[in-house]
Amino acid sequence: LLTLLVGTPDLSPVTWFVAATPIIALLVLMVGFNWGGAKAGAAAWFVALAAAYFGFGAGPELLAYSQTKAILLSLWVLYIIWAALFLFQIVSEAGGIRVIGDALVRVTQDRVLQLLILSWCFAGFIQGFTGFGVPVAIVAPLMAGIGFSPFVAVVATLIGHTWAVTYGSLGASFFAIVGVTGQPAEELASPLALMLGFTVFLSGIAAVWSFRGPLSVVRSMPLILIIGAVMSGVQWVMAVNGFYSLSAFTAGIVGMIAMILLTRTGWFDRANPDEQVGIESNSEAPETAMNWPRFLLAIHAYIVLVVMVLGVNMIEPVGDTLGRVAIDPSFPETVTDYGWTNPATESYRSIEILSHPGALLTYTAIIALFIYRRAGLYSEGALGRIVRNAADASVSASLGIVTLVGMALLMMESGMTYLLAQGIADVAGAFFPFLSPFIGVLGAFMTGSNTNSNILFGALQLNTALLLELNVGLILAAQTTGGALGSIIAPAKIIVGCSTVGLVGREGPVITAGIKYGLAITGVIGLATMIVALAFT
Residues that bind other proteins (CB under 8 A): 35-36, 38-39, 42-43, 45-46, 49, 59-61, 63-65, 67-68, 70-71, 74-75, 329, 391-392, 395-396, 398-399, 402-403, 406, 505
Closer residue to other proteins in complex, CB, 70/115 = 70
Least distance in Å: CB of 510 to other proteins? 18
CA distance 475 to 183: 12
Please state at what angle helix 491-500 crosses helix 134-145, rounded to 10 degrees.
30
* HEC assignment per residue over 277-289: CCECCCCCCCCCC
Using DSSP, state whether 367 is helix, strand or coil.
Answer: helix
Kindly compute the dihedral angle of the four CA atoms of residues 363, 392, 402, 124, in this order, to the nearest 10 degrees. Answer: -50
Report yes or no: 414 and 428 within 8 Å, Cβ to Cβ: no
CB closer to other proteins out of 410 and 465: 410
Q: Between residues 54 and 431, which has the closer beta carbon with respect to other proteins?
A: 54
Q: Which is nearer to other proteins, 390 or 511 (CB)?
A: 390
- Say if residues 235 and 197 touch (Cβ distance below 8 Å): yes
Nearest to 111 by CA among 261, 243, 235, 220: 220
Query: In whole angstroms, how far apart are CA 89 and each of 2, 203, 215, 505?
Result: 52, 28, 36, 20
Q: Which residues contact 414 (CB under 8 A, 6 or more apart)?
A: 51, 52, 56, 57, 58, 62, 63, 66, 336, 340
CA 344 to chain centre: 28
In the bound state with other proteins, the residue whose beta carbon lies nearer, of 44 and 113, is 44
Q: How far apart are CA 279 and CA 490, in angstroms?
A: 25
Closest approach of other proteins to the CB of residue 35, in Å:
8
- In the complex with other proteins, the residue whose CB is nearer, 329 or 509, is 329
Measured from the CB atom, is 42 or 118 closer to other proteins?
42
Cα–Cα distances (Å) from 245 to 211, 299, 450, in that order, read 31, 24, 15
CA neighbor of 133 nearest in space, from 381, 314, 295, 358: 358
Using only the alpha carbons of the chain, give its radius of gyration: 22
Is residue 327 within a helix (H) or strand (E), and if so which, with residue range?
Answer: strand 326-327
